[in-house]
Structure 1
Amino acid sequence: MMDPKLRKRLYIRQKQRLYRKKIVDEIEMLREQSMVLEKQVAYMSAKKGTMLSWENVAKGLEEDVLAAKQTECALKEKRKGYLDLIASMVKWIALQKGIQTSVALPVHTWRNVTLLAGETTRKLGFDWITKNVHYNTNRMLQQYDFPALNSPETILDFTVDMADLECLQYILRCQRELPIPLEYVVPAIREHVIQFLVRAQWNYEDLDMQEKTVEELDVEDDDDTMTYTSNTISDEEVINYLTREFHTENQVIFVGQNIHQDELLPKCKRQSNRTFWFILDRMEAFKTKLRVLYTTSHYFTSEGYVSLMDEAKYWGCDLDAIPEAKQTAKFHQYVMTMGQEFARHGEQQIQLAFQ
């Protein structure tokens, strides 16, 4: 049997061992809790750093409201601009219809030749007018009986359509093959023929074309294929010519149309409708087909087409001493002489372009 004292000492030791183990276990548990709490503190601290104060939230909302109001104002202004543009285009279309009713232009309803003052409307007008002249290229070539593109036929003529004596039409046609690459023909035609044409004035006495200094007008666009010029012919007539180039790989088309009314320019007393096409087609590497169509209408004013007597006078032909029965034939003979000389000078200008 164990000694009571020894048993007591063993009991005390065991109790102390259990107590120390308990303390060690508590310390280990506290360490683990400490690590968990440290992680939570770190997380909460990081989260607190990304959260905005109420002052910052209020300021941010105020900035959003201000931006929304600015966007709303911009959209309202844009809407107003669109409404103004629509109103201007309605006015523009009405003007075209009005011109064709009062002046009775010959069914070429695609020739809208009025420009309004508004910047956006003018840009649309420049683009629309030139694109529509270009769009009608093939129809006009067919209407005026041009030979097929691959035809070897060469033409240079001037005719007068006298089907309606109150609305004469003057037509110049040219078609020929040039032994020059398209890339060289284009700049030559642009610089020496097109630019000469929009600047020229016909001298009825000397039967000669005289180049003048014209005013370059702004097309309000960066499109360098488009030009707008004002050529003062007399106190009664100003030709405002709008021209443009259209390029594809094997064809270049120059179109021109005079503007009848421009709200930014003074009105002239009389004018005629003038439209031209210069069509250049690549036939082979060193061959280019040139086709030219130039049409001019009877003179007109705001009241309508002028009389045959006035038309003849504007061409430099005095019919006062001619019996009325012979006036039409006399004027036709006179105009044909003028037109043929005009065609001859045009051909000379084309030849000069390649010298």
Structure 2
Amino acid sequence: MESGQRKKNRNALTAAIKRLGEDEAAHLVAKFGSLNHSCKKDWAAGNHMIAALLNDGFSHNQIRQLLHVGGTRIRRITREKSPTSSCSPQQRSPSHVEYISSGHTDSESLAAASPSKDVPSPTGDDADMDDDVEAEFDRLRAQVDTLETYLADLLTDQQRHHAHRRRRKKRGMPPSLQLSWEEVASAMAEMHNASATERRHLFAQTQTSRRLLPLLRAYAATRPIHTCLVEDHETSPQLALGHVNVVAHPEARKQGLDWLSKVVYHNTDRMFARYHYPPTVAGRVSDAYFDFSSPAPPYVFVVRGHLDLPVSLSAAWSLFQDGFVRKQSGHFTPDEAASIAKRFTVTRLDLDIRREITPEMWYLHHTPLGQEYGKKNLFRIFHEPDRVIVAGQTIFHDELAPPPPTDTKHLVWYVLEQVPGEGRCRVRWMSMVSSTMTHDGFYSIDEEATKNGLDLSECPEDRKEARLTQHLAPIAAGNSYNVDHYLGQVFASVL
């Protein structure tokens, strides 16, 4: 079988013949065959050196630069200063400098590579040039020494690098911490693809927003402006949220549900502070009262509760998830589902949209049996480092579910928080229910009293609030007890 080196030599010879032409190639081969052993050895050493440089990563241009320096002058000066040598002019081999640095093989180059006996030797007419030629020869020889030193340093560096790579490979270490150009190119391609994907996503969002904006403008232009929202900035949040409409457009609907749930969450601390939370006492507290401080609606019914648990936040949250979240989000056991089906029809709304926002959100429509309208409840869970907040509200206006003629706006918060520095947690809840509202606003205090079976037509204006509070006190006490009792059952195992 033909060896690899011999095959390379044969291929190189074939390429050279094609480049020089058969006659010139035969002439050069004949001259190489007539060389003595010393010249052939030098020629072979030059070939090996060039092959080593190519194998170490040097390009043909780099090698040509190394050999090109002073090549033409060295040939001429060598011919003039050393007309005879161990390699006679007739035996001199074709020079590497001539054929690598020159870049052409015309007849003049061949003549320079193999000068005949007819080339005249220096004569007395050239005596004036001898000193200049001698100085030029010495300068070029010094430059050759410098280039040889530089080449030797390069070869040493290459050998040291290869030895280092072999040692790392032998020890099972990665070949180098420096990335290859293929790895850099691959990383840049991935970054480019990610950037293009993000750009397409942002462009799609921009297009969606542009389509949505006219719809929102048209909707805002058709909605009535409630003056109480502008005149009183301290009114309860349900005034701002009570008449907000959840539209049918999918993108606007998703943004609306996300925004409504976040508004209640971000007002948690504000509303707890307004109604004197957190309480300074420990233990168990539950109460209810009517807030008549806002000009409209005529009142807000507030239920507050506080419960200390001798367990950690994670343990309390686990109990709350099973006892409250699971049931309120519509994940009933068969027995629970059968019991609820006797009183309500429960429908889960916007499953796909809610999954896009967060899996910890639910939107249910409870319709009592035999009635046309029901309540739509939107809840969402928010996790903080030291507490968990469940924020909920009722939705009055929804284009996909026609609203009843009248309703109440209901906001609710359940907060489970770890007591700092102690192995216990605290559960607080607050419920706010507005008086009756319609599509145009809220009932007056007289209309609300009439709805609840109380006639205030003969009651002085300054006594109406007290009279209505007294009339609704049993209802308030019952609601407060029901919430406290329900949560007591949820945490019964640790109380």
Give TM-score scaled by structure 2 length: 0.49
Map of 2:480 onto structure 1: 343
1:157 aligns with 2:287: yes
Q: Which runs of 5+ in 1 are unaligned?
A: 1-22, 37-72, 200-209
1:299 aligns with 2:298: no
Contact 2:302–2:432 (CA under 8 A) maintained in structure 1: yes
Q: Which runs of 5+ in 2 are unaligned?
A: 1-21, 31-93, 101-199, 331-341
Q: In structure 1, what is the Cα distance between the partners aligned to 2:485 and 2:360?
A: 25
1:84 aligns with 2:172: no
Identify the range of structure 1 (164-173 vs 262-271) with the bigger mean alpha-carbon deviation: 164-173
Instruction: Output one character per residue of 1:10-29: Cα deviation in whole Å (capped at 9) or x when no partner.
Output: xxxxxxxxxxxxx9976234
How many residue pairs get aligned? The number is 283
Q: In structure 1, what is the Cα distance between the partners aligned to 2:266 and 2:477?
A: 28
Contact 2:298–2:444 (CA under 8 A) maintained in structure 1: no
Q: In structure 2, what is the Cα distance between the partners aligned to 1:94 and 1:143?
A: 33
Q: In structure 1, what is the Cα distance between the partners aligned to 2:225 and 2:285?
A: 34
1:268/1:151 CA distance change after superposition, 3 Å? same
The structure 1 residue matched to 2:398, chosen from 241, 262, 267, is 262
Contact 1:182–1:280 (CA under 8 A) maintained in structure 2: yes
Distance apart, 1:264 and its partner CA = 1.1
Contact 1:188–1:354 (CA under 8 A) maintained in structure 2: yes
Q: In structure 2, what is the Cα distance between the partners aligned to 1:236 and 1:213?
A: 11
Contact 2:396–2:409 (CA under 8 A) maintained in structure 1: yes
1:123 aligns with 2:260: no
Map of 1:252 onto structure 2: 388
1:330/1:255 CA distance change after superposition, 3 Å? same
The structure 2 residue matched to 1:192, chosen from 296, 304, 323, is 323
Distance apart, 1:147 and its partner CA = 3.1
1:111 aligns with 2:111: no
Distance apart, 1:216 and its partner CA = 1.5
1:226 aligns with 2:353: no
Q: In structure 1, what is the Cα distance between the partners aligned to 2:202 and 2:389?
A: 40
Contact 1:239–1:259 (CA under 8 A) maintained in structure 2: yes
Map of 2:413 onto structure 1: 277
More strand by share: 1
More helix by share: 2
Map of 1:40 onto structure 2: none
Q: In structure 1, what is the Cα distance between the partners aligned to 2:23 and 2:378?
A: 100
Q: Which has the higher contact order (CA 8 A, sep 6+)?
A: 1
Distance apart, 1:162 and its partner CA = 2.4
Q: In structure 2, what is the Cα distance between the partners aligned to 1:344 and 1:213?
A: 26
Map of 2:306 onto structure 1: 175
* Percent identity of paired positions between Structure 1 and Structure 2: 22
- Structure number with greater Rg is 2
Distance apart, 1:292 and its partner CA = 0.7
1:343/1:168 CA distance change after superposition, 3 Å? same
Secondary structure of the corresponding residue to residue 259 of structure 2: helix
Give TM-score scaled by structure 1 length: 0.66
Identify the range of structure 1 (132-141 vs 172-181) with the bigger mean alpha-carbon deviation: 172-181
